């Protein structure tokens, strides 16, 4: 039988690690080398995973089977055998275990997320990484389950059940109750409404209330899926019908006298919950940009083949500009997401009360998550448009990229919540000073003098805006705009610094284009750089 998937997805066969020039440049800049597994993962994604997940998305949804043949409650989420094999394969690449066990820095896990870039299957691994991270860091072998995630033969999965029907952003609205008994903690509640990986997970990190003092009563627990007796420890009421992220089952979960284990020290639950969430926020950022890259790469290949008015699409000046602008936006969001990944890698050992290294990593993560999600939304949408009408057809993989991109600004905290949390790190932790110092130090490393002057001008502008805003009473109202300004200035500075440090003229060009996008978006441009196809031509495939 002939395999014709490459007729509907031209990127098949690309190695998303070694052939992605900007990624390679950035990894060099961040001094991260990976290993052979990561290289194989880059190839596996385009040659097999995208096809499998596209099929799962359209025809192989996870299904909840509540009872077995003997009438016993099992809450089994049935996955297609190909989906199960794909999960096992990704676990074999060490997407979770290598970073959690310390064999590789956390950067390994985050770069894997960029390569996999499927909001569905990667969500299953993100949740597993978060849970394993918490077990390793806060139980550290003290409980029997703390090392289960290392099992190579029967990979282990995790989940995070925080959000409830009445409030996802506002965790103080949690109604799930935790009570300490002589046999340990037990949870009761039926409001966990967005429980992803339910039915797959061997255990979950769960937030619950121990009293009525709002957020101060919130504690974070590990809850195994199976009780000591061997019965189910929590039930799944139903699975959700979603627009995207189809591969990961998201369900409603009920706790009834469920056995639970307190994470860390009493009274610090919200800190642990947020720390664990930082992993999925960095993951979300990298997956968002990864989705954008795959969708845009596919669109670029289309512009090389398709003609209109006697020319290839990528020869029309208007389309050239489109491609170059999208490329710069994508690279800007990639470099800032990798920066967040690097900062998290360096601060993952820190425990509460947190120091400035951790606070700064969290601050950058809020910014990166929004910048990446916005770019992913825009790039995947316009990549569909590049295909014209067929971009809208579900028989090709393009619409799935966009559907999967849309969730990235919602889950793990919406864009408003990222802006408010960023504000909190400024007001309570004083990270703005660290940020401006970081920008200025990086700017000094830019070798192109014109670019350096421009960045200096941009930093001054943003600093002035920030200082005026701090004196006003409209800080909260403007927090998302502030986040965007910070993100744009940091991305610009990082792009130019990376270009200088690794000696890449291409990157310097990208930084010039990004400066226009960020700081002069509505000015008519005569810049020659907007015709320079070298910035995107590396995506060419024979
Ligand atoms: C596919 C999917 C899977 C998910 N999986 C999980 C999971 O596994 N575990 C989990 O715990 N959660 C999960 N979630 C939940 C997700 O994290 C929440 O939906 C999200 O954090 C928003 O919470 P909410 O839906 O309660 O909206 P709300 O908190 O009610 O927010 C509604 C709107 O109000 C805005 N808003 C809220 N407060 C403010 C404010 N102070 N100022 C300005 N605007 C504000 C928000 O930005 C949003 O636009 C999942 C969600 C989806 C869609």
> How far away, in angstroms, is 413 Cα from ligand 1 center?
6
pLDDT value of position 147: 82
ipTM value for the complex: 0.99
Q: Of the CATH numbers 3.10.20.30, 1.10.240.10, 1.20.58.220, 1.20.140.10, which one belongs to the domain with range 271-537?
A: 1.20.140.10
State the DSSP H helix or E strand holding residue 337, giving kind and residue range, or none if neither: helix 317-347
Ligand 1 within 6 A of CB of 131? no
Which of 125, 169, 409, 418 gets mutated to test ligand 1 (max ligand atoms within 8 A of its CB)? 169
DSSP state of 166: T
Rounded Cα distance between 207 and 457, Å, is 45
Ligand 1 within 6 A of CB of 245? yes
Rounded Cα distance between 184 and 269, Å, is 17
Which of 157, 158, 167, 168 gets mutated to test ligand 1 (max ligand atoms within 8 A of its CB)? 168
DSSP state of 33: -
Burial of 146-166, coded b for 16+ CB within 10 Å and e otherwise, reads bbbbeeeeebbbbbbbbbbee
> What atom of ligand 1 comes closest to residue 167's alpha carbon?
26
pLDDT value of position 204: 98
pLDDT value of position 527: 87
| Residue ranges per structural domain of the chain | 5-150, 160-268, 271-537
pLDDT value of position 416: 98
Q: Which residue's CA is the closest to the ligand 1 atom numbered 4? A: 194
Ligand 1 within 6 A of CB of 193? no
Q: Which residue's CA is the closest to the ligand 1 atom numbered 27? A: 168
> What atom of ligand 1 comes closest to residue 127's alpha carbon?
8
Burial of 204-218, coded b for 16+ CB within 10 Å and e otherwise, reads bbbbbbbeeeeeebb
Ligand 1 within 6 A of CB of 176? no
> How far away, in angstroms, is 400 Cα from ligand 1 center?
22
> How far away, in angstroms, is 222 Cα from ligand 1 center?
22
> How far away, in angstroms, is 238 Cα from ligand 1 center?
19
pLDDT value of position 150: 80
Question: What fold characterizes domain 160-268?
Answer: Butyryl-CoA Dehydrogenase, subunit A; domain 2 (2.40.110)
Q: What is the pLDDT along the chain (542 residues), one digit of tens a residue?
A: 999 999 999 999 999 999 999 999 999 999 999 999 999 999 999 999 999 999 999 999 999 999 999 999 999 999 999 999 999 999 999 999 999 999 999 999 999 999 999 999 999 999 999 999 999 999 977 887 888 888 778 899 999 999 999 999 999 999 999 999 999 999 999 999 999 999 999 999 999 999 999 999 999 999 999 999 999 999 999 999 999 999 999 999 999 999 999 999 999 999 999 999 999 999 999 999 999 999 999 999 999 999 999 999 999 999 999 999 999 999 999 999 999 999 999 999 999 999 999 999 999 999 999 999 999 999 999 999 999 999 999 999 999 999 999 999 999 999 999 999 999 999 999 999 999 999 999 999 999 999 999 999 999 999 999 999 999 999 999 999 999 999 999 999 999 999 999 999 999 999 999 999 999 999 998 888 988 899 999 999 98
pLDDT value of position 146: 80
Residue 285, number of CB atoms within 10 A of its CB: 35
Rounded Cα distance between 184 and 227, Å, is 12
Which of 414, 420, 480, 481 gets mutated to test ligand 1 (max ligand atoms within 8 A of its CB)? 414
pLDDT value of position 479: 98
pLDDT value of position 107: 97
Ligand 1 within 6 A of CB of 407? yes
pLDDT value of position 27: 98
């Amino acid at each position: 039988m002939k395999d014709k998937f490459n007729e509907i997805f031209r990127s098949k066969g690309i190695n998303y690690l070694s052939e992605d020039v900007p990624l390679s440049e950035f990894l060099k800049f961040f001094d991260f080398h990976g290993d052979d597994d990561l290289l194989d993962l880059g190839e596996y994604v385009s040659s097999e995973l995208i096809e499998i997940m596209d099929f799962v998305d359209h025809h192989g949804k996870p299904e909840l089977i509540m009872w077995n043949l003997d009438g016993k409650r099992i809450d089994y989420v049935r996955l297609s055998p190909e989906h199960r094999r794909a999960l096992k394969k990704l676990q074999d690449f060490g997407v979770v275990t290598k970073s959690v066990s310390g064999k590789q820095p956390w950067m390994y896990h985050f770069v894997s997320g960029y390569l996999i870039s499927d909001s569905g299957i990667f969500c299953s691994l993100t949740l597993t990484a978060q849970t394993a991270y918490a077990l390793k860091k806060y139980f550290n072998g003290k409980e029997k389950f703390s090392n289960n995630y290392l099992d190579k033969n029967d990979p282990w999965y995790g989940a995070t059940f925080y959000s409830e029907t009445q409030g996802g952003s506002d965790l103080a609205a949690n109604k799930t109750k935790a009570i300490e008994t002589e046999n340990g903690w037990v949870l009761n509640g039926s409001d966990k409404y967005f429980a992803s990986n339910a039915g797959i997970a061997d255990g979950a990190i769960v937030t619950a209330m121990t009293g009525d003092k709002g957020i101060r009563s919130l504690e974070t627990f590990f809850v195994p899926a199976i009780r000591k007796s061997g019965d189910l420890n929590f039930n799944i009421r139903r699975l959700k019908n979603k627009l995207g992220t189809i591969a990961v089952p998201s369900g409603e979960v009920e706790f009834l006298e469920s056995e639970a284990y307190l994470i860390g020290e009493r009274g610090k639950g919200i800190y642990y919950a947020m720390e664990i969430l930082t992993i999925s926020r960095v993951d979300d950022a990298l997956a968002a940009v990864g989705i954008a890259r795959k969708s845009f790469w596919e669109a670029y290949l289309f512009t090389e083949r398709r003609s209109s008015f006697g020319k290839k699409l990528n020869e029309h000046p208007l389309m050239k500009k489109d491609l170059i602008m999208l490329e710069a936006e994508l690279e800007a969001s990639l470099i800032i997401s990798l920066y967040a990944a690097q900062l998290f890698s360096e601060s993952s050992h820190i425990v509460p009360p947190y120091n400035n290294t951790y606070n700064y990593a969290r601050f950058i993560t809020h910014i990166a998550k929004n910048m990446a999600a916005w770019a992913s939304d825009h790039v995947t949408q316009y990549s569909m448009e590049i295909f014209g009408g067929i971009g809208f057809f579900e028989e090709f993989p393009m619409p799935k990229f966009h559907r999967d991109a849309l969730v990235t600004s919602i889950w793990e905290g919406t864009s408003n919540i990222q802006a408010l949390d960023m504000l909190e790190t400024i007001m309570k932790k004083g990270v703005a000073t660290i940020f401006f110092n970081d920008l200025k130090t990086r700017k000094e490393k830019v070798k192109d003098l014109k670019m350096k002057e421009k960045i200096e001008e941009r930093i001054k502008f943003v600093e002035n805006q920030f200082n005026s805003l701090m004196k006003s009473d409209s800080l909260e109202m403007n927090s998302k705009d502030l986040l965007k300004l910070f993100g744009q200035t940091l991305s610009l500075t990082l792009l130019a610094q990376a270009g200088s440090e690794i000696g890449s003229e291409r990157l310097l060009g990208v930084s010039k284009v990004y400066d226009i996008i960020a700081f002069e978006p509505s000015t008519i441009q005569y810049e020659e750089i907007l015709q320079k196809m070298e910035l995107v031509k590396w995506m060419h495939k024979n």
